[in-house]
């Protein structure tokens, strides 16, 4: 049997086999990682200052969601 020829340049690149596509792009992964880091830092500082777990969770979630929006604008396409 003859081996099928690649239909595009992407198929010819090494390492670009028929594996699954990534769930997130690089840009989205960077934005989410930095936003989660901001949320963790905010939560840790809030825990250190206040000590109330519900306040810590709300502060961390607020910081994470705000960071996603800001980082999405900063890291433009």
Number of domains in the chain: 1
pLDDT confidence tier of residue 5, bands split at 50, 70 and 90: low
Residue 2 is assigned to a structural domain of this protein? no
Comparing 7-11, 30-34, 38-42, the range with the smallest average pLDDT is: 7-11
Q: What is the DSSP letter of 51?
A: -
CA distance 19 to 56: 40
pTM (2 d.p.) = 0.69
Residue 19 is assigned to a structural domain of this protein? no
Residue 31 is assigned to a structural domain of this protein? yes
In this prediction, residue 66 carries a pLDDT of 95
In this prediction, residue 19 carries a pLDDT of 80
Give residues with Cβ within 8 angstroms of 65, minimum separation 6.
35
CA distance 56 to 66: 15
Q: Are 34 and 13 in contact (CB under 8 A)?
A: no
In this prediction, residue 77 carries a pLDDT of 65
pLDDT > 60? residue 42: yes
Q: Which domain holds residue 64?
A: 24-74
More confident residue, 73 or 51: 73
Residue 33 is assigned to a structural domain of this protein? yes
């Amino acid at each position: 049997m003859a081996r099928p020829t690649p239909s595009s340049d992407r198929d010819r690149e090494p390492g670009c086999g028929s594996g699954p596509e990534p769930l997130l792009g690089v840009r989205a992964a960077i934005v989410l990682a930095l936003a989660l880091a901001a949320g963790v830092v905010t939560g840790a500082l809030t825990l250190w200052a206040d000590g109330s777990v519900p306040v810590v969770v709300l502060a961390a979630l607020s910081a994470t969601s705000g960071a996603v929006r800001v980082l999405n604008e900063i890291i433009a396409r």
